[in-house]
Amino acid sequence: MTDLLIDVSATRQHTLKTRIDCVGIGLHSGAKAAMSLLPAEPDSGIVFRRTDLGLDIPARHDNVTDTRLCTQLSHPGCPDVHVRTVEHVMAALAGTGIDNAIVTIDGPELPILDGSAAPIVFLVDCAGRLSQAAPRRIIEVLKTVRVEHDGAIAELRPGGATLDLALSIDFPAGAIGRQALSLSLTEQGFRATLASARTFTWVQEIETMQQAGLARGGSLKNAIVVDGDRVLNPEGLRAPNEFVRHKLLDAVGDLALAGARIHGRFVAHRTGHALNNRLLRALLADATAWRMVSLEPAGWSQGQYGVAAKAA
Ligand SMILES: [Zn+2]
């Protein structure tokens, strides 16, 4: 296991060693979706490629166009071209220290797999990881930015040697109730606490969504289904606080759309995809709230304008 681990605070960028493919079902379309993860050049970030259309959609916060049921990205020049449910892939890549990758998909929706990020972490482990020469860039939070909506709040504060996360949730359903979790985003912490937490929904919501033609691929195999005080999945929960773990997994995926790792403290209550995206937009729109820092591998020195340069 230890040879698989890269410190997510490593100073150099990483990509995949080789290509890896999988096939699954889209949660909303119910259609088969073929996804591949491919190595990518340094400084290229994560890019989603619609192989059916030959178009690339960079995984950036300003390409987010819908956050109602999942996080959807659209092509900056063709708003009708989108890719849905990117958050678990983004979380898995961020949590396993992958900076650069191309994620190909043959339609508009990524496969939901088991509703968690664990199958994607497995794919990354199968492909292996490659250290790249380029230094990693970090978005350092310099001042507190806060967004809120209808009793939900999300903040990014300065501090922390990585991304420190603290989240609480409060749902009327007795099976969920109030849950809170704090975690520093290390690879071990991500793998042990967040990766296998599944998405969740309510039995009543499934009926409503399926009547609206959504969640056609939804089943007890890819989501926790709650009915009041009860969890309907026969196998039960993977952890007593699996719900807040999954909300934190979603937040890691949504915050990875900043385009670089964030160093700061994320503090939130009842947040979701919409508020997470608003928080990122608010941070990055305020030039006094953050700065980009290049990490220096040994033998490199910090150059002008925050760009790392190799010592002569
Ligand atoms: Zn999710």
Encode pLDDT of 102-156 as tens digits: 999 999 999 999 999 999 999 999 999 999 999 999 999 999 999 999 999 999 9
pTM, entire model: 0.91
Ligand 1 centroid–CA 117 distance in Å is 9
Query: Measured between alpha carbons, how far is 231 from 238 in angstroms, rounded to an integer?
Result: 11
Distance 200 CA to ligand 1 centre (A): 8
Neighbours of ion ligand 1 (CB under 5 A): 199, 250
- CA–centroid distance, residue 88 to ligand 1 (Å): 6
Residue pLDDT, tens place only, 90-102: 999 999 999 999 9
CA dist 196 and 183 (Å) reads 15
Instruction: Report d(CA 87, CA 105) in Å as an integer.
Output: 14
3-state secondary structure of 277: helix
CA distance 169 to 17: 38
Q: Supply the pLDDT for residue 67.
A: 86
- Indicate the burial class of 211 (C-beta count within 10 angstroms; 0-12, 13-18, 19 or more): exposed
| CA nearest neighbour of 113 among 127, 123, 103 | 123
Q: How far is the CA of 308 from the centre of ligand 1 (A)?
A: 35
Average pLDDT (204-227) is 86
Q: Indicate the pLDDT class of residue 218, thresholds 50, 70 and 90.
A: confident
User: 236-290: per-residue pLDDT in tens?
Assistant: 999 999 999 999 999 999 999 999 999 999 999 999 999 999 999 999 999 999 9
Instruction: Please name every residue paired with 260 in a beta bridge, in sequence order, or none if there are none.
Output: none
Q: How confident is the model at residue 312 (pLDDT cuts 50, 70, 90)?
A: very low
Percent of the chain residues topping a pLDDT of 90: 79
Structure-block tokens of residue 213: 């033609």
Give how far the C-alpha of residue 141 lies from the chain's centroid of Cα atoms, to the nearest Å.
Answer: 19
**DSSP 8-class letter at 198:** P
Residue with tokens 């509703």: 115
Centre of ligand 1 to C-alpha 133, Å, is 33
Single out the catalytic residue among 14, 61, 246, 273. 273
Is 269 labeled as catalytic in the residue annotation? no
